């Protein structure tokens, strides 16, 4: 089992990356982790999910967005987090199911796609892709956050 907190640097624990540090095109080091049935259960609890919404041909799947709790860990491996970040938006695309009754090995990777200042906010955009070790795509995310410094 990989809890996101096992692989995610915590805000305030180390010197934070600042806006000036972000480089468009920079790639995040691949992050391997394992989603277990226990993680799926806990995720469904914290997003108030109904298991009946995720049954495929009689088999219980996970909410495919369960990978969302690992997303920032992928980015933070290259850019340690700062306090006070605000999420602006996400586009999430689902490619294949994640099953609720088995362990799923996943590799998260990604890159910085843009940075810009708007209305006094320092915006960072990045993409994260989650795949199985055999290359099967699970989920792709395009993300934007704003940071104070």
Partner 1 sequence: MAIVEGRVEKTIPQTQKMFDDYGKLNGDNDILHYDDAYAKERGFRGTLGHGLMYTGYVCDLAAKKFGSDWHYRGELTVKYIRPVCPGDNLVVSVDADGTVQCESQFDVTLVGKASLV
Residue 37 or 97 with smaller CB distance to partner 1: 97
Angle at 6 between CA 87 and CA 12, to 5 degrees: 55
91 sits near partner 1 (criterion: CB under 8 A): yes
Residue 69 or 78 with smaller CB distance to partner 1: 69
Q: How far is the CB of 65 from partner 1 (least distance, A)?
A: 5
41 sits near partner 1 (criterion: CB under 8 A): no
Residue window 99-118: x/- pattern of binding to partner 1, with contact defined by CB under 8 A: --------------------
H-type helices in the chain, by residue range? 4-7, 37-46, 68-76
Candidates 25-33, 90-98, 107-115, 118-126; binding stretch for partner 1 (CB under 8 A)? 90-98
Separate counts of helices (H) and strands (E) for the chain: 3, 7
14: DSSP letter: S
Q: How far is the CB of 25 from partner 1 (least distance, A)?
A: 23
Closest by CA position to 118, among listed 10, 19, 18 = 19
Beta strands 137-147 and 86-94 are: antiparallel
């Amino acid at each position: 089992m990989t809890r996101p907190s096992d692989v995610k640097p915590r805000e305030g624990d180390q010197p934070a990356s600042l806006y000036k540090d972000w480089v468009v095109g920079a790639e995040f080091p691949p992050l391997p982790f394992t989603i277990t049935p226990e993680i799926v259960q806990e995720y469904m609890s914290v997003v108030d999910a109904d298991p009946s919404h995720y049954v495929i041909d009689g088999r219980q799947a996970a909410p495919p967005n369960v990978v969302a709790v690992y997303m920032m860990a992928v980015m933070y491996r290259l850019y340690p987090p700062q306090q006070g970040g605000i999420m602006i938006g996400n586009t999430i695309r689902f490619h294949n199911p994640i099953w609720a009754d088995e362990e799923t090995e996943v590799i998260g990777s990604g890159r910085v796609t843009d940075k810009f200042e708007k209305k006094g906010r320092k915006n960072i955009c990045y993409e994260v892709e989650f795949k199985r070790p055999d290359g099967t795509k699970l989920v792709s995310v395009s993300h934007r956050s704003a940071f104070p410094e």
